[in-house]
Structure 1
């Protein structure tokens, strides 16, 4: 699945391929895994996710990346590794690309997500149940792109992160209220959204 969004108001120096990690063990078990304590060492790609990545790399349909930057969680690191290996690229982890912290719901059923999103729709700054505010996620995700824009030019950069952070980032790039991030089309596991120069 691929989407393309070009920010009309910004002159991009690079092209970005924003990729959600492949289907993970957290997805498989319907669990919220958002803490580094759990997410860095465990809950990597599921067998389905491994197959997804093998297929995507085998029939790569996007511009060839020249850099790979990724969240340091296991599921995103493994996703990035599939692409980096295929194109013989080094990988750069960036903690700012981590999953949104879901606070008290860590380790709980992913049925809790809609409850959080309902609160997001009312206030992008809320931290109910110690959940990371949408505005905070947007700030760290945007900071990654801003730094890459300063450091590079003419590159195609694969950015591997998680569903909520990427949807929040895309909402910010569109200049829409962050409270509307769930109005973005859902990003499926292993999906890629292109942003930047064509």
Structure 2
């Protein structure tokens, strides 16, 4: 699917759940602030925001005034990552996490979107957009606070 907008994917930073070596995947628990980012995760989120700001300055469109949307899953760790990354990059505050197809139909062409989510969600999206078998999504695994530009299969060779 060719994209009219530029997408960046960001896995949440190191969380307190990561440090406790527990999995928090229930939305009810995931929204709880006790599982937000660890101090190291906050630093990672800010660094990812600075990295995004640099990527936007060097963007392919050459338009510094492009609209930017920051979207996040509702978990406390992703919302905090999104807020810190957006602040560090000088962007608007985050919203909720819709589908890429919906964004493509709703946004002005040439927009930039930062999707902040979870490792499996992002690796499955990356696999699907690359034309790979989504059952093999672990090939596209994200490190905590890793920022990556989403490229559809047609752009993968670029």
Structure 2 match to 1:20: 11
Structure 2 match to 1:82: 84
Pick the structure with greater CA Rg: 1
Is 1:40 aligned to 2:31, yes or no?
yes
Deviation of residue 88 (structure 1)? 3.9
**Is contact 2:45-2:82 (8 Å) kept?**
no
Q: Which piece of structure 1 moves more, 41-50 or 61-70?
A: 61-70
- Aligned counterpart in structure 2 of residue 148 of structure 1, from 95, 100, 103: 103
* Alpha-carbon distance in structure 2 between the residues aligned to 1:177 and 1:145: 18
Q: TM-score, normalized by length of structure 2?
A: 0.80
Structure 2 match to 1:30: 21
Structure 1 match to 2:96: 93
Deviation of residue 57 (structure 1)? 3.1
Q: Return 5+ residue gaps in structure 2 as ranges.
A: 58-66
Deviation of residue 30 (structure 1)? 1.2
Offset from partner CA, 1:60-92 (integer Å, 9 cap, x none): 432167110110100000011012223241321
Offset from partner CA, 1:142-196 (integer Å, 9 cap, x none): xx10000001121010000000111111111122222111222x31111011024
* Alpha-carbon distance in structure 2 between the residues aligned to 1:193 and 1:167: 11
Q: Return 5+ residue gaps in structure 1 as ranges.
A: 1-9, 97-143
Q: Which piece of structure 1 moves more, 70-79 or 24-33?
A: 24-33
Q: CA RMSD in A?
A: 2.0
Label 1:28 to 1:173 Cα distance change in 2 as closer, same or farther (>3 A). Answer: same
Structure 2 match to 1:63: 56
Structure 2 match to 1:164: 120
